[in-house]
Structure 1
């Protein structure tokens, strides 16, 4: 079956990629537009993979015809809420010395997927200026004269306006009918939303059998097919991430007395275990130590250490064949890197971690390949079978110093000329990457998806259904930087929280007060993430300078404490707990900070022992800083209904004396030591105390 999947939701001007699922390379497939809003002039180009660019709000209905079937796809386009903004920098803003200035500068940002050569800032007096139409939110732009990143300047602009509303579907059986109800939440500073329901073209549920009354959809049980999917969006100034219910109608169990069984599931929800887990990221080639090479066997021999930390998940940076130390330039998707070991040795490591009760997340890199991959070499040398495997852009858009053969250049992000982007308009590429997914999904417990923002939404939706069909507990973690709630729509379970990451850095350097972390948490709702979405909270990863190097040792403990005492899934980047200062530095086994390691162990254990720390919801606690830096202190309350804990963090040096506006215990649950009495506590970094009365 090649049906393209669920209804798609977009804004006017946003390109929506449409493609058959389970593609057969070379299959005959053609798209045409059956219906569009009256004012629209949008068209489809007819190929197996095409892109609809809605030019008017409303419903578009597309038809995919293959050799053996015909399928319909609904695309709902909503009005775009944008404002024309102005990015600008001066020569003094550039961070290099003796920069060669020009009349224009190349500009990249999320607004153009960090793609060189598409947007240029023109010189206006002493400034280089770029105007762009962008939605509400804070936007960043990076300026460069030559695209090398040897010297850059940045600008930040905030567009005022409402965030995205949120929606959650629930179901009940009433009077012989299934009732799907939508619970909506207005965006901060937004108006109350309306609800739109949509059925799924893959199912036999007829629209005539469905009745909609306000926020409820009703369908008689006897009209339900074996499977029915119900989708809904909340709509106000902007539209929400869609929510989905899957209804299974078990007619094989039907009897005159009981009727058919009906079960309802939520396919977009993360697995329950993910919210309770702690992730440990290992940059594989720096893990074994200074004088030995890291191999799968070497990591396996160190599993007792990983186990001692109490973590639940290990995320391994790429283990596939690659000429680079970091592994993201892959030359063979179906085999392991020879320097790390054989496929059998990798599976032995996975088995050993499983024996320790630790899940394994595999770094899935499918946005690009290495420039040294045979497929790219065949592509660039004109082998016909590989002609459409990679993105190609006009040579005038290329700002690299590479002398690419021919009149075009490969597509790539940032200045990543050695990892050209794959072309997902190619059925061959889609089939190839689905084979990669199939190759590893039964070996590991989840994928951390590298450059997730570079791969089409429709493909991720297919990957999700593919891996979850056999294993609903399989984890999908996105690298979307900066974060984007669109990837929560039937795509990923857990998302990088770049807002908290950036804010904790700003707190650690003194640019923001500690209370700014509440604004970072509020940004999750502003972006429109569903309440059930998971978020990875972290202070370090392999792509960023170490927190301890940028902010210092004292703020590090408080920042790590925040990731373990706020809602979400905390992540430790290997070496963080040992005091490693280099971004991808060697693990400090013999000379690491043992006290810091013990601190991490205690945080992992505390979070595992207290459900209140894993529950949703954060409530600020009023307090007075008697001694210490007042901007360095933040206090909040966490509760699961049975237990209430008060957390106080101090990002400053030394010890702060903090008076709380509530009664708490006098012993720190994290350290087991007394912290004071009468609501006044001494905090050096992180203190967790039980509340002794209801507030």
Structure 2
């Protein structure tokens, strides 16, 4: 396909109508909340740091855009950089009003700059609410912070909706023109991620217009409590004929396992297709050559759409791995950019970021010279990549954004607004490592929980008896079965990801509880979901590294802790190599049954689902490798006690609350009670994981089920 034509008409000619962001104008979007000293910047070279900028929405590649300051705090000399897409570094705390001169007029944008603070201080959280009475919408918010803080709350109305907020924190109903979006920010030592509501006129009430309150940052209902399954697309289907069709033939396995979401690693036409050797990462597909064509060895776009239909027939949603931070260096745009004799050289030279153009030294990450970073400071690039989003949003249920930290926050805000407006059920999962809470609250619904993953890795290394050597019987025709030692470059990056996670000491098994509690300290948006995983395509297999018992405990942690568990293909069947072919003919059936039981229990028990609280409970144990905790669903009054053991052999765990003696995972008796009045008489024998029904709490008995 001639991708240059795609850049001219804004999308694939057969893709249907393009979507619009917001109201379809060039307005740059919602108010911005930043810190003096950090600002809104997008420099080269920040491999693990989030990028940001000021940019027009729905950009025209050849449009003229100019930024300027309308109002600023006294003594400020800050000004946006030149160019249609700008950087801005507030130099004084306060509120700034910026103007964007665009082809469709002048648009104003509020930038609230908070003082520089200690980055180790906890960030507050805020939840915005509204009530409607007497012709006014009254705003209220709940703000909290870990520690002794007492956050205040500031309210802002989206600049696109005009000045409708009154000094007393109310909005007249008759000032609402169809819909108004309102933001709340909690402020303590640091400021929070914003929360938002939309006030929508909803017809006439008995005496006045009716207003409906919507929550635009909430994830799609189907994504809450979802069990996710990632496949390495070219290694999951039948070995002899690996195609979309043979992936569809294997969906019964996912349905029987209880999978809700299928995340496919990249399947577009890429430099790293079938036949890519292990030393280059195998056929991973993360270096795209064509954003509108699938790998022809897998099939056609129609074949992919048939796979999606087959998933939907089984109530499985499909997530597309969106790789738009970079392209392959064999992409036609990059080839034009580096070739001064190419007729489109002048156009595409500015589509990429350069360390030194004369040396053809592109801006890249981790020394990956073959995947140059795209230049989001170019409106044409943004326009083109929005057309990519539009095209695939019609064909899938969600996006997992690869290297999300490498794409400016402003772009992800626009993508979220764009696809939410077209289909409120579209789901967005980010890859930011270390996980960045700024990606929540109007950008992504779910984040990789690298902090929990880091804790699980450290526990495996500390307490496990070591992994097993060897590989599965499913040797690949063009790649060694066990790639772990071969993918040295991938290992280095995986190590960088792990080392960059939150600095939690995983010296005892309760580090997994610290990892969950750390979300609140970091100030994650209350609606943010978390992807819990033992392994993925960038890590070694937990089974290989730490052994079977440790893997059973770690997988139980991902299913019993708050968040959405993810399985990486073959994790449940005994695949040993990071990117080995699926072992269809040699399943570890006992391991598979363990995962089926875990997932079934999670789906059937409300105390393991998203609305259930995580509670630390007193426990005593004979090893640092064991931990116990409780989950309780207040609405149903159901309560569970979970005990996990990451070490070798059997751990003894004593708890001081009444539980049933039968393990819900194995139906075996694991709890002894000597019948005395001693509350510590309940002793659990824990090999890897035990889940026990606990007594219903008094406060919820009346509402139980």
TM-score category of the 2 structures, normalised to the smaller one = 0.7 to 0.9
**Is residue 42 of structure 1 aligned with residue 78 of structure 2?**
yes
CA distance in 2, matches of 1:611, 1:205: 44
Provide the residue aligned with 2:236 in structure 1: 287
Deviation of 1:502 (Å): 0.3
CA contact (8 A) 1:241 1:488 kept: yes
CA distance in 1, matches of 2:407, 2:117: 24
CA distance in 2, matches of 1:266, 1:41: 37
**Is residue 306 of structure 1 aligned with residue 254 of structure 2?**
yes
> What SS class does the counterpart of residue 451 from structure 2 fall into?
helix
Deviation of 1:175 (Å): 2.9
Provide the residue aligned with 1:101 in structure 2: none
Structure 2 unmatched ranges of 5 or more: 1-24, 41-52, 273-282, 463-505, 674-681, 699-705
Deviations, residues 122-171 of structure 1 (Å, cap 9, x unaligned): xxxxxxxxxxxxx32xxxxxxxxxxxxxxxxxxxxxxxxx1111111011
Provide the residue aligned with 1:454 in structure 2: 406
CA distance in 2, matches of 1:407, 1:81: 40
Deviation of 1:680 (Å): 2.0
Provide the residue aligned with 1:258 in structure 2: 207
Q: Equivalent of 1:428, from 354, 364, 380?
A: 380
Deviation of 1:428 (Å): 0.5
CA contact (8 A) 1:280 1:315 kept: yes
Deviation of 1:505 (Å): 1.0
Q: TM-score, normalized by length of structure 2?
A: 0.82
Q: Equivalent of 1:8, from 32, 42, 53?
A: 32
CA distance in 1, matches of 2:660, 2:651: 17
CA distance in 1, matches of 2:149, 2:242: 55
Instruction: Work out the number of aligned pairs and report it.
Output: 594
CA distance in 1, matches of 2:207, 2:361: 65
Higher relative contact order (CA 8 A, sep 6+): 2
- Describe the shift of the 1:460–1:178 C-alpha distance in structure 2 as closer, same or farther (beyond 3 A): same
Q: Equivalent of 1:505, from 419, 440, 457?
A: 457
Structure 1 unmatched ranges of 5 or more: 83-134, 137-161, 396-404
Deviations, residues 220-276 of structure 1 (Å, cap 9, x unaligned): 2223222111111111111100111111123xx336x43211011111111222222
Q: TM-score, normalized by length of structure 1?
A: 0.83
CA distance in 1, matches of 2:371, 2:456: 31
Q: Equivalent of 1:183, from 142, 147, 151?
A: 142
Matches within 5 A, 1:21-420: 21-82=57-118, 135-136=119-120, 162-186=121-145, 188-189=146-147, 191-207=149-165, 210-212=166-168, 217-250=169-202, 253-254=203-204, 257-288=206-237, 291-324=239-272, 325-382=283-340, 383-393=345-355, 395=356, 406-407=358-359, 409-420=361-372
CA contact (8 A) 2:80 2:87 kept: yes
CA distance in 2, matches of 1:595, 1:634: 24
> What SS class does the counterpart of residue 608 from structure 1 fall into?
helix
Deviation of 1:649 (Å): 0.8
Provide the residue aligned with 2:50 in structure 1: none
Deviation of 1:180 (Å): 1.2
Provide the residue aligned with 1:98 in structure 2: none
Deviation of 1:204 (Å): 3.6
**Is residue 601 of structure 1 aligned with residue 612 of structure 2?**
no
CA contact (8 A) 2:164 2:172 kept: no
Provide the residue aligned with 1:115 in structure 2: none
CA distance in 2, matches of 1:367, 1:65: 27
CA distance in 1, matches of 2:373, 2:648: 46
Deviations, residues 368-391 of structure 1 (Å, cap 9, x unaligned): 100100001111124112121011
Provide the residue aligned with 2:485 in structure 1: none
CA distance in 1, matches of 2:27, 2:59: 10
Matches within 5 A, 1:523-602: 523-602=518-597
CA distance in 2, matches of 1:300, 1:422: 33
Provide the residue aligned with 2:633 in structure 1: 640
